[in-house]
Amino acid sequence: MAGLFGTDGVRGLANGLLTADLALGLAQATASVLGRGRSAEVRQAAGKRPVAVLARDPRVSGEFLGAAVAAGLASSGVDVLDAGVIPTPAAAFLIGNIDADFGVMISASHNPAPDNGIKIFARGGTKLPDEVEERIEAALASEHLLPTGGNVGRISRFADAEDRYVVHLLQSLPNRLDGIHVVLDCAHGAAAGVSPETFRDAGATVTIIGNDPDGVNINDGVGSTHLDVLQRAVLEHGADVGIAHDGDADRCLAVDAAGNIIDGDQIMAILAVSLKERGLLTKDTLVATVMSNLGLKIAMAEHGITVLETKVGDRYVLEAMNEGGYALGGEQSGHVIMSEHATTGDGILTGLQLLAEMARTGKSIAELAAVMTVYPQILVNVSGVDRDRLGHDAVLDEAIAAAEAELGDTGRVLLRPSGTEPLVRVMVEAADQHTADTLAHRLADIVRERLAIA
């Protein structure tokens, strides 16, 4: 069972890789590892059981997987508070809010409906480090001594879960959103219940799309991976801004009044400048991955903000933020983390903060996004190559150096191996699209030739 955990929990085809048996066993293994912490010992000393928060997105397989996880936890002596369908960041918040020992979110995020996933959060609502995931995998293969009688856990409804989260979101706002018309695309996902309510309570005029989840339509042609629907809706309704979530609402992308996309880099630029102006940007530093646009780094330098780069993946952004105590970080994909208010990416929180900055400054989202010039960027995936030989071929290294010399300070080159597939990703940014395209495909051809699998 080694390698069960990916970059964001255990994910796969529901009833394929991800069966009810696996979900139950994983829950029991998680209880054996995370149900023994300091808070669990305090509860047990007081004659109480460990407590876990359980939540899911609305995809149909979440119903049987949720039941299996609840059974696995309760059979291991853990009291389960079932929060039902709520966003992933809501689950993370609630774990810390009620001081639960850990929590489980059942979601495959932006993946299509047939997939699902199990995300596990530690006490405080934080993601698990690699070594804890390894301990859970090891426990999955072990026998567990299960309690009997009155020592088994109870399963109960977390009745005010959504209300607690909405209050938390509203309390995060520096000002109201009155006068702003927003179109919300809820991706037929976990945001459908909570996002419209929260934006309305904050004062915005709200038009909603993608808010009719039926268990099988999550992310289907809507949400942050299909922005064309939101673009049309913003233009049709004459709205000021559009906000798109993904299936579990941990992402946020935006659309301006003219239908132009505002990506995660631009969102981070807007929020970083706002936080610095208000004295809230810790060490005047923004944490982003190496895939963020060069324009972000240039724009931040112009505003006296340092960009700390990490490997690709929001878990690496989180690690850097936690180590340095930084306030803001994220990815181009729309995972934005504001550590004062959240332990993970929160698409609803991010959207609210964006609109709050519009209201605070009186500027449109397009005017705010103009703080950053987006450099043309092209990404070419080269498959069928030996990714382990990247960095060990002199001819390819020379070609990369030549491309970098040609670009000078007006662009950059990044080649990195995929973490899951036998391919190499070639990314080039340049001052114009033609140069980016030409260099990227030139380097891709050399990768294909030099690193071909024999």
Are residues 76 and 137 part of one domain? yes
Alpha-carbon span 115 to 442, nearest angstrom: 36
**Structural domains of the chain, count:** 3
Enclosing domain of residue 126 = 10-163
Are residues 256 and 197 part of one domain? yes
Per-residue pLDDT of the chain (454 residues; tens, 9 = 90+): 447 888 788 999 999 999 999 999 999 999 999 987 655 566 666 678 999 999 999 999 999 999 999 999 999 999 999 999 999 999 999 999 999 999 999 999 999 999 999 999 999 999 998 899 999 999 998 888 899 999 999 999 999 999 999 999 999 999 999 999 999 999 999 999 999 999 999 999 999 999 999 999 999 999 999 999 999 999 999 999 999 999 999 999 999 999 999 999 999 999 999 999 999 999 999 999 998 999 999 999 999 999 999 988 888 999 999 999 999 999 999 999 999 999 999 999 999 999 999 999 999 999 999 999 999 989 999 998 988 899 999 999 999 999 999 999 889 999 988 766 778 999 999 989 999 999 999 999 999 999 998 7
Segment (H or E) for 176: none
Are residues 393 and 339 part of one domain? no
Are residues 261 and 154 part of one domain? no
Binding-site entries: 109, 246, 248, 250
Alpha-carbon span 316 to 277, nearest angstrom: 26
CATH number at residue 442: 3.30.310.50
Q: Does the global pTM surpass 0.85?
A: yes
Are residues 45 and 119 part of one domain? yes
Beta strands in 87-167 (DSSP E): 102-106, 115-122, 126-127, 155-157
Are residues 152 and 49 part of one domain? yes
Alpha-carbon span 162 to 150, nearest angstrom: 30
Q: Is residue 5 part of a domain?
A: no
Instruction: Return the SS3 of 13.
Output: strand
Alpha-carbon span 383 to 287, nearest angstrom: 30
Q: Is residue 3 part of a domain?
A: no
Are residues 345 and 201 part of one domain? yes
CATH number at residue 359: 3.40.120.10
Binding-site entries for Mg(2+): 109, 246, 248, 250
By the 8 A CB rule, do 182 and 355 touch? yes
Are residues 339 and 206 part of one domain? yes
Of 313, 336, 369, which closes a domain? Answer: 369
Are residues 397 and 259 part of one domain? no
Are residues 176 and 157 part of one domain? no
Count the Cβ atoms, other than its own, within 10 Å of residue 18.
Answer: 23
Of 163, 183, 218, which closes a domain? Answer: 163
Catalytic residue, candidates 109, 195, 224, 274: 109
Q: Is residue 317 part of a domain?
A: yes
Q: Is residue 1 part of a domain?
A: no
Are residues 215 and 142 part of one domain? no
Of 338, 369, 400, which closes a domain? Answer: 369
Q: Is 109 one of the catalytic residues?
A: yes
Burial of 98 (C-beta count, 10 Å sphere; 0-12/13-18/19+): middle
Are residues 229 and 188 part of one domain? yes
Handedness of CA 36, 39, 45, 51 (dihedral sign): negative
Q: Is residue 245 part of a domain?
A: yes
